[in-house]
Amino acid sequence: MHLSAPPVRPAAGLRGTWLLRMLLRQLSRGSLRVVLPSGAWIEHRAGADGPQAVLLLHRSRALRRLLTGGDLGFAQAYLDGDWSSPDPVALIGLAAANSAALEARFSGLAPLRLWRRLRHRRRDNTPRGSRRNIAFHYDLGNAFYRLWLDESMTYSAARALPPGGSLEAAQRDKRARVIELLHLEPGASVLEIGCGWGALACDMAGQGARVTGITLSREQLAWAREAAGPAPIELRLQDYRAVVGRFERIVSIEMIEAVGAAYWPAYFAMLGRSLAPGGRIVLQAITIREDRFESYRRRPDFIQTCIFPGGMLPTATIIAAQAQAAGLRVVECETFGAGYADTLAAWRERFEASLDAVRALGLPERFIRMWRYYLCYCEAGFRDGVIDVGLYVMEAGR
């Protein structure tokens, strides 16, 4: 049934069809077919190209939650089983392609938006808050992450994942490129901020570097220490603000996203004072598109609310400005958003193949839906270009 057809009858099993029609009228790109609880369907095809998506409504309250809670309310409706989709990436991508109109009409009730902003601020990344926020995500347990990450436990984007290529090979290639950009030399002192499960630290030590890695995750630290074995790597449970001394090389892979906007100056100041003369820094950073930053800053999204409390993505312009304020300059940048989309798709495939093992860990179905939505949400963002990822090479400013 297209929009030009007669209205859906109440027998179709959906109350408040006006909400559905209001939703469809906001779409200027792509197409959306909505299948109602009765099995009847309604479809809208926009004039401009865009994602082609299908929404399966299981409960009519999904639309009410979109109206009152905006995109976050709609995400939470998915977690509660109110709707599903045969291709959530396409559906979320359709929303991203029509974001301006959808946000204007479905931004949620003002009191709810205010409450979410206040809640997000309570998750501030003070030294104590950072430990709590990092534990919320990374201390879910190594047994969980090892089910769907590659063998090296690399939890960041590969630069590219060629058809038929393995995730393991793609992650090795990315780590090798980071080392290449660092201009790493045997004997060089290296600080890794947010060392994760230790794969990059081990690779750098294997090339003769003297590596110090810091993390706030106890689970990651335990794994990394075991992975390092007798290698000359010093691994610490330490906040970046507590770092002392200077290092010839500094590397930080997808850690800036957990710093928080209020602490970006402190983070870059630490980079500046910790870099030895003639040294190099490589940051792998996820960024948000410049024209989306203000809306994103005002409205905590699904990731900030459910996955990474206290998180905040910078823009590429913010990275350059913060670096300059700390006496640094960006001398090279490589972006590879498509590589992250493919990495996320590979993680999701592995996650779905491991659901029996995930359930055996005692993780509930709502958690499984949340993690699936998280992986789809991020993949859609990278495919649409709302977010990007890059390797930013920095040196002392001149």
With contact defined as beta carbons under 8 Å apart, do 340 and 157 qualify?
yes
Place of tokens 């976050």: 72
Token pair recorded at residue 295: 């809306």
With contact defined as beta carbons under 8 Å apart, do 269 and 209 qualify?
no
Residue whose C-alpha is closest to residue 271's, from 196, 323, 314? 323
Alpha-carbon span 80 to 333, nearest angstrom: 41
Alpha-carbon span 323 to 251, nearest angstrom: 14
- Give just the sign of the alpha carbon dihedral 169, 170, 174, 175: negative
Residue whose C-alpha is closest to residue 159's, from 180, 138, 190, 185? 180
Length of the chain: 398
Alpha-carbon span 343 to 88, nearest angstrom: 16
Would residue 376 show up in a list of annotated catalytic residues for this protein?
no
With contact defined as beta carbons under 8 Å apart, do 105 and 22 qualify?
yes
With contact defined as beta carbons under 8 Å apart, do 32 and 24 qualify?
yes
State the catalytic residues. 378
